[in-house]
Structure 1
Amino acid sequence: MDVKRTFAGLPWWVTWVAIPVIALVVFGSLIAHIVGFLVGLLFKILIFAALVGGIIYLVRRFTSASSSSRGDW
């Protein structure tokens, strides 16, 4: 079965309007779940990166401050 021949005799609105609307109705909750999962995962990755960067900043700041205050140079 050739897909091009199947859609060739149909009006443009069937191909570009009706079929996508049917796909959204059938798979809409699945698409929303996947998009929500990806957004949540991206948010968690950004929070993780910010926390790791903050810890690295604080450790470097306090270790350099403690080494300069001891006068070991």
Structure 2
Amino acid sequence: MAVRGIFAGMPWWLKWVVIPVIALFVFGGLIVGILTFLIGLLFKVLVFVAIVGGLLYVIRKFMSNKSSHGGW
């Protein structure tokens, strides 16, 4: 028995409303957990890029100021 055969005799509202709502109810915690993980990972990557970029900026400023003074 194929999935298409199971859904063949059901009304449209059962296929397109009730079953997705049940799936969201059952797997909602998993979906929220995955989204939370992905958003947290993206935030950490952005913070990492900002810190490394700021560090490179400060180092370049420091090195250019040091070399332009010729010692002291």
- TM-score, structure 1 length as denominator? 0.88
Q: Structure 1: which 5+ runs fail to align?
A: none
Does the residue aligned with 1:57 lie in a helix, a strand or coil?
Answer: helix
State the 4+ residue runs in structure 1 displaced beyond 6 angstroms: none
Report 1:1-73 matches (<5 A). 1-70=1-70
Does the residue aligned with 2:37 lie in a helix, a strand or coil?
Answer: helix
- The two structures, once aligned, show a CA RMSD in angstroms of 1.2
Distance 1:69 1:7 in 2: 79
- 1:64 counterpart letter in structure 2: S
How far residue 8 of structure 1 moved from its aligned partner, in angstroms, is 1.6
How far residue 14 of structure 1 moved from its aligned partner, in angstroms, is 1.1
Identity %: 59
How far residue 40 of structure 1 moved from its aligned partner, in angstroms, is 0.7
Q: Structure 2: which 5+ runs fail to align?
A: none
- TM-score, structure 2 length as denominator? 0.89
Q: Provide Cα deviations, 1:11-30, integer angstroms capped at 9, x if missing partner.
A: 11111111110011111111
